[in-house]
Amino acid sequence: MFALLTQDPAKINYVADPAKAPTLDAFGQLPELASTFGHVDGLFYFTYAVCIFFFVLIVGVLLFSVVKYHRKTFDQPAASNVTHNTPLEVVWTVIPLIIVMVMFAWGFDGCMDMHYAPHAASQNQFKATAKQWSWTFNYPNDPSQSFNEVWIPVDKPVQFVLESTDVLHAFYMPSMRVKRDVIPGRLQTVWFHPKKEGEFHLFCAEYCGDDHSRMYAKVHVVKQSVYDTRPWDQWKDATPAEAAASGESLYKQICASCHSVNGTPSVGPSWKGMFTKQGENYVGRQREVVEGGAKKTITVDDAYITESIQKPDQKKVAEEPYVKNAMTAFPTLEERKIKGLIQYMKSLADAK
């Protein structure tokens, strides 16, 4: 169910933990994970049942007639010359009309319910920002952010305000039965009421460029008591080793899709060898960069890395394809997080 199809394993940030996947019922279907299931699955199975009923009825009458009334000899006269039966025609017009009206009303009711968030959901408002090719989440009444991973409390209606900073994306959570386009220049919203704890996927369901297929996020539905510990902001940086460990987990969330740490070339330059260790000190490497169209040599240091995170276009590595590739800017990334990333980059020089 949650298996990821053919992807470069080096580029997968995570896979959903099968132990946390919901148990399927006897028919291999998901349990009711969200309040939207009544609208979506209920209507789907109703439509499905109607289709099966009419398929059996029509094919049954057809086969019966073929067998019973087929012409047995060449000159056999017609069994009947009746061409119309008004009561029968009224019945087979009115009954299907009633059935499709039920489908319409059911669907319209579900559509309205999914479109207009109840008050409780709009009081529990998250923000999901889509950009090529990642998701950034903001929490209600909380200044911190998380990337490609979000935590929401179970059994509490939740609303996501959706924003795109570049092209069309779509917020698609099949396990919660919700999907909404994310449109640049417009705030869209989506709400649902998660009923069971677990880990679920959020996909981008609108083709948005090269790495569209890797634009997914993990959604943790957790108990309120777990949510209150703010699992998205477990940041330890008291010692250099702790800062490096926090930096490494942030690297995996937001940097690993474009920067390797083992020297493998990718969308962006590898972080390997940015610093070397001399005694107790980390010494930055020399690097050719292009700034304002001019080539120059700089020494990698904290200020250069900070600038490259906040304003990546300022100095670009003077090497193909890095000169032409554009990096996503993180102008609002907190200082302690930038420090953690730098500490992790330095720790790569430690003898392992």
Q: Contact between 162 and ligand CUA (CB under 6 A)?
A: no
Give the nearer residue to ligand CUA in terms of CB position, either 130 or 250: 130
Number of residues engaging ligand CUA in binding (CB under 6 A): 9
- Which of residues 149, 163, 206, 248 is near ligand CUA by CB under 6 A? 206
- Which of residues 11, 127, 212, 214 is near ligand CUA by CB under 6 A? 212
Site string for ligand CUA, 74-113 (x = CB under 6 A): ----------------------------------------
Q: Contact between 274 and ligand CUA (CB under 6 A)?
A: no
- Which of residues 178, 204, 250, 342 is near ligand CUA by CB under 6 A? 204
Contact region with ligand CUA (CB under 6 A), list: 35-43, 139-147, 193-201, 202-210: 202-210
Q: Contact between 130 and ligand CUA (CB under 6 A)?
A: yes
Q: DSSP letter string over 65-81?
A: HHHHHS--STTPPPS--
Is residue 309 within 8 Å of 338, Cβ to Cβ?
Answer: yes
- Which of residues 39, 169, 180, 193 is near ligand CUA by CB under 6 A? 169
Contact region with ligand CUA (CB under 6 A), list: 137-145, 203-211, 225-233, 326-334: 203-211
Give the nearer residue to ligand CUA in terms of CB position, either 171 or 235: 171
H/E stretch holding 171: strand 169-173
Q: Strand, helix or coil at 278?
A: strand
> What dihedral do alpha carbons 308, 314, 320, 322 form, nearest 10°?
30
Give the nearer residue to ligand CUA in terms of CB position, either 151 or 203: 203
Give the nearer residue to ligand CUA in terms of CB position, either 129 or 260: 129
Nearest CA to 256 among 166, 147, 336, 151? 147
Burial of 150 (0-12, 13-18, 19+ CB in 10 A): buried
- Which of residues 176, 208, 222, 255 is near ligand CUA by CB under 6 A? 208
Is residue 156 within 8 Å of 162, Cβ to Cβ?
Answer: no
Give the nearer residue to ligand CUA in terms of CB position, either 214 or 230: 214
Q: The tokens of 150 are what? A: 């979000």
Alpha helices in the chain (DSSP H): 37-69, 86-115, 119-122, 224-227, 240-250, 302-310, 335-347
CA–CA separation, 152 and 114 (whole Å)? 18
Dihedral-angle region of residue 106 (phi above 0 means left; psi in -120 to 50 means alpha; beta otherwise): alpha
In the complex, the residues that contact ligand CUA under the rule CB under 6 A are 130, 133, 169, 204, 206-208, 212, 215
